[in-house]
Structure 1
């Protein structure tokens, strides 16, 4: 385990302990079945109080990464058995994970995001009115032909928010609300912003023409991932 962890700034102590322990578990520095270090040691490592450490451990318990034993040492659980609430921590800590297992998990997360987008497009294809499809196309078409990275990010966010709304699936809408809260505009746009505009313009045109947008979406993301 890394003993040279820099304490977090005041006000972020709870996040430092929670995210630090999460990274150690996901990267295998704390292996499944292993006991967590004593609260005193963890408090020293992260520069926080023992109460803060205890709160972090219980949050990890809630997502299925730690088993808390009354009167005994808490034990690390297999990350593969954690539930979906681990997504938030995964998104927050993605750029600090280094192990092969964590890299595979991040690939799985990227694939899941693509599958989720397919669900959003399918729902929009089923439920959007002609007026909503026209409005979506206008929303993309009025974007400048030349976009910088910030403009491209705004276009992407606005497109998927609109797709989610016109799809009228409450479960997908709830999940989108979670993604927006978790990512907090931290995602970076991959590729050429101009190509991104063309990509969303094509999807909007297919929806307006009542063509299935999923084959085009899949072909595009598979090309990008190749």
Structure 2
């Protein structure tokens, strides 16, 4: 991967993004040493302060380990990086991090968090929290058929569910999933149409939560949050086989 001099503005961002992408693409392997600050400054034609700031950000993401007065070593992002790495990666970073699947991956993560949050909210949510969920379903219905407005209402509804679960870790993860360049909240509504338009399904979810039916709330939440996801290959294959068997039986 060829590194290029930085533009006059945002020089630290430029250094950060190029070194990040070089690491994720495998140009710098885990345990390898990055060039020294002096060498990086010369390559990018920037001062060492900009390089130092970029390295600090890379270290915060779990991509490098900066040793005081020593070499900067590359870390394996699969072992050390967190969700912040996905949030910071708005363009393709090579095969090492399949950015093309990040929206799908985060929607799958949101489905897992949302389903368990619905279960917990049903079991231990306060009456006020459950009333908030019902009110957010009304907002979703009122926003129809405007998919953009429904998308905003949908995020607010699920925030109420996650908040009502009382799980702070889920709430922090949800905040990450609906912010940033690749956020679920910013996914084009057409990719979530099946979920957004199912107002009746959201009312059923609200009813299950209000009634304290944890298992039913979990199942309904998962059904809603996976409605727009492509079926796994095995599931599609199984469905095709089932249709073929049915066709054979009828003939």
TM-score interval w.r.t. the shorter chain? 0.7 to 0.9
Secondary structure of 1:29's counterpart equals coil
User: In the alignment, what sits opposite 1:49?
Assistant: 47
Encode CA deviations 1:75-126: one digit per residue, 9 max, x unaligned.
1111121143xx2232221432221x31188465554333222233223222
User: In the alignment, what sits opposite 1:61?
Assistant: 59
Q: Distance between the aligned counterparts of 1:8 and 1:153, measured in 2?
A: 37
Q: Within 5 Å, give how 1:22-33 maps onto structure 2.
A: 22-33=20-31
TM-score if structure 2 supplies the norm length? 0.71
Secondary structure of 2:190's counterpart equals coil
Relative to structure 1, the CA distance from residue 199 to residue 49 in structure 2 (aligned partners, 3 Å threshold; closer, same or farther) is farther
Relative to structure 1, the CA distance from residue 47 to residue 108 in structure 2 (aligned partners, 3 Å threshold; closer, same or farther) is farther
Higher Cα Rg: structure 1 or 2?
A: 2
Q: Distance between the aligned counterparts of 1:119 and 1:157, measured in 2?
A: 16
Counterpart contact for 1:152–1:193, Cα < 8 Å: no
What number of residue pairs does the alignment pair up?
219
Counterpart contact for 2:117–2:170, Cα < 8 Å: yes
State the 1:8 CA deviation. 4.9
Counterpart contact for 1:30–1:76, Cα < 8 Å: yes
Can you give the 5+ residue segments of structure 1 that lack an aligned partner in the other structure?
A: none
User: In the alignment, what sits opposite 2:119?
Assistant: 122
State the 1:154 CA deviation. 1.4
Can you give the 5+ residue segments of structure 2 that lack an aligned partner in the other structure?
A: 232-251
* RMSD over aligned Cα atoms: 3.2
Encode CA deviations 1:173-194: one digit per residue, 9 max, x unaligned.
3333444454586732253665
1:160 pairs with one of 158, 167, 170: 158
Q: Distance between the aligned counterparts of 2:182 and 2:223, measured in 1?
A: 28
Encode CA deviations 1:103-158: one digit per residue, 9 max, x unaligned.
188465554333222233223222152533432321222112x224x324312322
1:91 pairs with one of 61, 80, 87: 87
Relative to structure 1, the CA distance from residue 58 to residue 214 in structure 2 (aligned partners, 3 Å threshold; closer, same or farther) is same
State the 1:36 CA deviation. 0.6
Relative to structure 1, the CA distance from residue 133 to residue 78 in structure 2 (aligned partners, 3 Å threshold; closer, same or farther) is closer
Q: Distance between the aligned counterparts of 1:14 and 1:170, measured in 2?
A: 33
User: In the alignment, what sits opposite 2:220?
Assistant: 216
Q: Distance between the aligned counterparts of 2:110 and 2:77, measured in 1?
A: 19
Q: Distance between the aligned counterparts of 2:114 and 2:79, measured in 1?
A: 25
Secondary structure of 2:186's counterpart equals coil
Counterpart contact for 2:114–2:161, Cα < 8 Å: no
User: In the alignment, what sits opposite 2:139?
Assistant: 139
Counterpart contact for 1:152–1:197, Cα < 8 Å: yes
Counterpart contact for 1:165–1:173, Cα < 8 Å: yes
Counterpart contact for 1:159–1:200, Cα < 8 Å: no
Match status 1:102 vs 2:97: yes
